[in-house]
Amino acid sequence: MAKRIRVLVAKPGLDGHDRGAKVVALALRDAGFEVIYTGLHQTVEQIVEAAIQEDVDAIGLSILSGAHLPIAKKLMAQLRANQMEEALVLIGGNIPARDVEPLQALGVAGVFPTGSSFDSIAAFIRERVAAKEPAG
Amino acid sequence: MSEKIREVILESGIPVKPVYGPEDIARPDGIGAPGEFPFTRGIHPLMYRARPWTMRQYAGFGAPSETNERFKFLIANGQNALNVAFDLPTQMGLDSDDPLAEGEVGRVGMAVDTLADMETAFDGIPIDKISVSLTINAVAAPIMAMYFVVAEKHGVPLADVRGTSQNDILKEYIGRGAWIFPVTHGIRLVTDTLEFCARHAPKYYPVSVCGYHLRESGANPVQEIAYAYCIARAYIQETLKRGLQVDDFAERLSFNFDIFGNLWEQVAKFRAARRLWARLLRDEFGAQKPGTLQMKMIAGGGGGGLTIEQPENNIVRGAYYALISALSGAQTMALCSYDEAYTIPTEKAALISLRTMQILVEEMGLCDTVDPLGGSYYVEWLTNEMETRILAEMQRVDAEMGGIVRAVSEGAVQSEVAHQALKFERGLQDGSIPKVGVNKYRAEEDERDVALHEYKPERAEESIRRTQQIKVSRDAPAVTAALDRVREVAANGQNIMPAMMDAVRAYATLGEMTKVLKSVFGEFEEPVRL
């Protein structure tokens, strides 16, 4: 059996609306992923540290306050500083369409605004993680 | 005839028959009259015939000067109360210049660091006539202290100051997440404000218990009321330990409830909730004053029911939610604006919400007759059904989760609510819970044409500069002395409010006051449990 994909679901910053984060975490777990949920009020540094500690394949951030661009910028810089630029980063939450491209330009692999289906998130992670595995 | 009829089961799990009749509502004690125990039909005999509901749209953003302009705009357009939104750093007790506040200053509410910010926000606002609601929780004590001092400066003494604070910390641990201190200390601060107001500010409503955020986090309508009542009961029990009688303070507890979903289920929920509250207060706490037995609420909202898809549909939903609120006998109404699923409201969106309520009052006859659905076979049956289930859920919290305080500390309610949210989301995704524009009548939308509220980072700079100026110009030794006093009182268990008001008067910052409290109380460790 293939190794289960490990996903860190994180709530960065001060925003405490965690319904989306928890629901996605539960749905991914039900879909066979190994899910680690950070809980609220995490700094970007704490999230990167958790990603290293837990040796995750993907990091999913849930942001509803509107501060997704500054947070993503900080996260990507921290990942680079820790030689983790290969980590698959997903952002979900209250993300307007016009911010999708800027987020991708920062290196965010997938943007899943409110209402995205669990299946589409799970399929995206599976596909992209598989693509990163060395062939053989 | 064996024609198959469609099965209807409400979100709270209640199966609904196609027809109801007199045999469904036989109940020994009847439904009573409006304004009479147990207040099923409303807390006043004449309800909106005597006075329409209060309109209180949630507003606040950027620097206090910007918020002050929005307040004046809403008042000029006929709004008769204010509902203040604070930004996340303020809600978390951080000053605007704190590194953790970066990117969030003034974003989802107004930034408040010191008394000066509150002075600016309420400049030129007649707070003796306009009642102000403060949506603040973990740091409600210092923010209330600021408001009381502003009122003093407006010539309104404590004994006359009116208004409401949200100040419901227990629900923050379940939904919304703006908590700072451990549960017992959080409850202690709430109790301090309840005691202080009962003794010194008797017209002020210090706590608005929020089923709203529980439901927004996933709770179904039965759980929304049940958990909110368990929380309210916990605050009452704590305040009784301060040597007050229930009739001295419980009258000033109010509620904030959510409206979205099935119309009948919501109306029945509120009618059942009023009856249950009256019985709970009389039978469990021995309350006698009518005011204590009357469940007062702000209802409207419905953020969870609004959609990103086809956003104009949210204007229609908002109108139905307002109708439900009026049919349910709410004292105060606030609607989520149609752009709620995107960001905080633009001036236009806020005005549409206000006009929605005004149309109901002025054109639709909603204020003509009290509880017009009273006596409906279906509504009365459903009211009874909701009451039974809410009570059972409250008993389950006590019997299976060890009471609400323990349940919150250990994450049991949080887990319950998250699983309910998952169930609901699956229903949306598989189409078993219909949502127009989302899983029904979905349309390919090009660029959505929604004018959104623009966040202005330069206003954050303004907040930071202002606070730094105050920090250098204030009487530093007085600030230190006032903060030392807050620390001492936090530790010795005396009521924190007088010391807090003195610190506010000395222009201590919210961040400084919160740090002092953290040094005594510590911080909440979230029981992360999926």
CA distance B158 to B498: 12
Q: Which pLDDT belongs to residue B52?
A: 97
Closest partner residue to A23 among B91, B101, B418, by Cβ? B418
Q: Once rounded to an integer, what is the mean pLDDT over residues B364-387?
A: 96
Residue type, B77: N
The pLDDT mean for chain A works out to: 93
CATH of region B127-430: 3.20.20.240
User: What is the signed CA dihedral for A50, A53, A56, A62, rounded to 10 degrees?
Assistant: 0
Closest CA–CA distance from residue A132 to any residue of chain B (Å): 28
Q: Using the predicted structure, report yes or no on whether residue B377 has a pLDDT greater than 70.
A: yes
CA distance B267 to B256: 15
Domains along the sequence of chain A with CATH? 9-131 (3.40.50.280)
Contacts of B418 in chain A (CB under 8 A): 19, 22-23, 26
CA distance B187 to B135: 17
Give the residue on A whose Cα is nearest the Cα of B420. Answer: A23
Q: How many CB atoms within 10 Å of residue B239? A: 25
Q: Which pLDDT belongs to residue B325?
A: 98
ipTM (interface predicted TM): 0.94
| Two structure tokens written together for B285 | 């706490």
Q: Once rounded to an integer, what is the mean pLDDT over residues B32-40?
A: 96
Each residue's pLDDT tens digit, B322-331: 999 999 999 9
* % of chain B residues with pLDDT over 70: 98
**CA neighbours closer than 13 Å in the CB half-sphere of residue B310:** 14
pTM of the model: 0.96
Q: Once rounded to an integer, what is the mean pLDDT over residues B73-78?
A: 93
Contact pairs from chain A to chain B, CB under 8 Å: 95
- Verify whether the Cβ–Cβ distance B108 to A23 is below 8 Å: no
Q: How many CB atoms within 10 Å of residue A55? A: 9
Closest CA–CA distance from residue A84 to any residue of chain B (Å): 23
Confidence of residue A133 (pLDDT cuts 50, 70, 90): confident
Specify the domain boundaries for CATH 3.20.20.240 within chain B: 127-430
Closest partner residue to A22 among B100, B104, B418, by Cβ? B418
3-class secondary structure, B112: coil
* % of chain B residues with pLDDT over 90: 87
Q: Once rounded to an integer, what is the mean pLDDT over residues B81-88?
A: 94
- Touching check for B262 and chain A: CB below 8 Å? no
CA distance A73 to A44: 10
Each residue's pLDDT tens digit, B216-231: 999 999 999 999 999 9
Q: Which pLDDT belongs to residue B449?
A: 63
* B443 compared with B121, residue with greater pLDDT: B121
Each residue's pLDDT tens digit, B464-498: 999 999 999 999 999 999 999 999 999 999 999 99
* B404 compared with B339, residue with greater pLDDT: B404
Closest partner residue to B104 among A39, A65, A113, by Cβ? A65
Q: Once rounded to an integer, what is the mean pLDDT over residues B355-378?
A: 96
Residue type, B412: A
Q: If you search the block for the tokens 């204010």, which residue do you land on?
A: B82
Contacts of A15 in chain B (CB under 8 A): 88, 177
**Cα B97 to the center of its chain, rounded Å:** 28
Q: Using the predicted structure, report yes or no on whether residue B95 has a pLDDT greater than 50.
A: yes
CA distance B153 to B446: 52
- Verify whether the Cβ–Cβ distance A67 to B526 is below 8 Å: no
CA distance A98 to A84: 27
Give the residue on B whose Cα is nearest the Cα of A17. Answer: B176
- Verify whether the Cβ–Cβ distance A40 to B455 is below 8 Å: no
Give every strand in the sheet of B81-85, ordered side by side: B58-59, B81-85, B131-135, B163-165, B204-205
Q: Once rounded to an integer, what is the mean pLDDT over residues B348-372?
A: 96
Each residue's pLDDT tens digit, B275-286: 999 999 999 999
Contacts of A43 in chain B (CB under 8 A): 100
**Cα B455 to the center of its chain, rounded Å:** 24
| DSSP secondary structure string for all residues of B396-436 | HHHHHHSSHHHHHHHTHHHHHHHHHHHHHHHHHHHTSS--B
| DSSP secondary structure string for all residues of chain A | -PPPPEEEEE-BSS----HHHHHHHHHHHHTT-EEEE--SSB-HHHHHHHHHHHT-SEEEEEE-SS-HHHHHHHHHHHHHHTT-TTSEEEEEES--GGGHHHHHHHT--EEEETT--HHHHHHHHHHHHHHHSPP-
- Touching check for B103 and chain A: CB below 8 Å? yes
Confidence of residue A56 (pLDDT cuts 50, 70, 90): very high
Interface of B with A in 147-176 (CB under 8 A): 172, 175-176
- Verify whether the Cβ–Cβ distance A22 to B530 is below 8 Å: yes
Q: Are A120 and A112 in contact (CB under 8 A)?
A: yes
The pLDDT mean for chain B works out to: 95
Each residue's pLDDT tens digit, B240-266: 999 999 999 999 999 999 999 999 999
Each residue's pLDDT tens digit, B129-148: 999 999 999 999 999 999 99
Q: Once rounded to an integer, what is the mean pLDDT over residues B185-212?
A: 98
Q: Which pLDDT belongs to residue B341?
A: 79
B19-23, B76-80, B307-311, B445-449: lowest mean pLDDT where? B445-449
Which residues, at least 6 apart from B447, have a Cβ–Cβ distance to it below 8 Å? A97
Closest partner residue to A19 among B217, B429, B455, by Cβ? B217
- Mutation target among B61, B86, B88 for the A interface, most CBs of A within 10 A: B88
By C-alpha distance, which of B82, B79, B129 is closest to B109? B82
Closest partner residue to B425 among A16, A23, A43, by Cβ? A23
Q: Which pLDDT belongs to residue B447?
A: 58
B54: left (phi over 0), alpha (psi -120 to 50) or beta: beta
| Two structure tokens written together for B297 | 């609420």
The DSSP secondary-structure symbol of B160 reads G
- B355: buried, middle or exposed (CB in 10 Å: 19+, 13-18, 0-12)? middle
3-class secondary structure, B20: coil
Closest CA–CA distance from residue B428 to any residue of chain A (Å): 9
- Mutation target among A35, A41, A45, A47 for the B interface, most CBs of B within 10 A: A41
Q: If you search the block for the tokens 């704190």, which residue do you land on?
A: B98
Confidence of residue B361 (pLDDT cuts 50, 70, 90): very high
Q: Which pLDDT belongs to residue B348?
A: 93
Q: Once rounded to an integer, what is the mean pLDDT over residues B89-96?
A: 98
Closest CA–CA distance from residue A43 to any residue of chain B (Å): 8
Confidence of residue A136 (pLDDT cuts 50, 70, 90): very low
Contacts of B420 in chain A (CB under 8 A): none
CA distance B182 to B192: 16
Q: Using the predicted structure, report yes or no on whether residue B396 has a pLDDT greater than 90.
A: yes
Closest partner residue to B88 among A14, A37, A96, by Cβ? A14
Which residues, at least 6 apart from B420, have a Cβ–Cβ distance to it below 8 Å? B218, B219, B220, B223
